[in-house]
Amino acid sequence: MQHALQCAHRAEQAGAAPPLVAAALFHDAGHLIHDLGEDAAERGIDDVHEARGAALLQTLFGPGVTEPVRLHVEAKRCLCAIDTGYYEALSPASRTSLALQGGVMSAEAAEAFLAMPFAGDAVRLRRWDDQAKDPMASTPPLDHYRDILSRAALGRATAVTAGG
């Protein structure tokens, strides 16, 4: 929970729109909805939490939330390819999961990724994710995000209604 709150707080401090703040809050939700155990990566298993989380979230939110969540692992792979020093700054656990998630992207794959819709938001989310690991950080409580989440969900309802 602390990691999620820190990530959402960083997004909010950066002036992110409600859907991206919601994505930051829920980006790791997929870790909570599998039966692989907490040590899946240590056992060489990719829990594909990004896909699981995005699928769960799409019942409440539109692509402004779900796509950055779905793409945040690919964003890590991309950042390793385009940002010298990014890989070295990863925690040992992130390096382990990176290997399971496909490893560092090629330059061509990174270029293609960055051209995708929501890739920029996924990269921003990924950077907040990496920075949201301070055990001493102070964040607003979960209730603080209630209105932001409502606005993010309302954006989905508006899009659905406008589409017919």
CATH H-level, domain 2-162: superfamily: Hypothetical protein af1432 (1.10.3210.10)
What's residue 161's pLDDT?
34
Percent of the chain with pLDDT over 90: 69
Model pLDDT for residues 53-68, shown as the tens digit of each residue: 899 999 999 999 999 9
What's residue 159's pLDDT?
43
- Position 136, amino acid: M
Q: Where are the domains of the chain?
A: 2-162
Model pLDDT for residues 81-137, shown as the tens digit of each residue: 999 899 999 988 889 889 999 999 999 999 999 999 999 999 999 999 999 989 899
Cα–Cα distance, 151 to 12 (Å, whole number): 14
- Greatest mean pLDDT among 8-17, 50-59, 130-139 lies in 8-17
The pTM is what? Answer: 0.88
What's residue 52's pLDDT?
87
For residue 61, give the 3-state DSSP assignment. coil
Q: Is 125 left (phi over 0), alpha (psi -120 to 50) or beta?
A: alpha
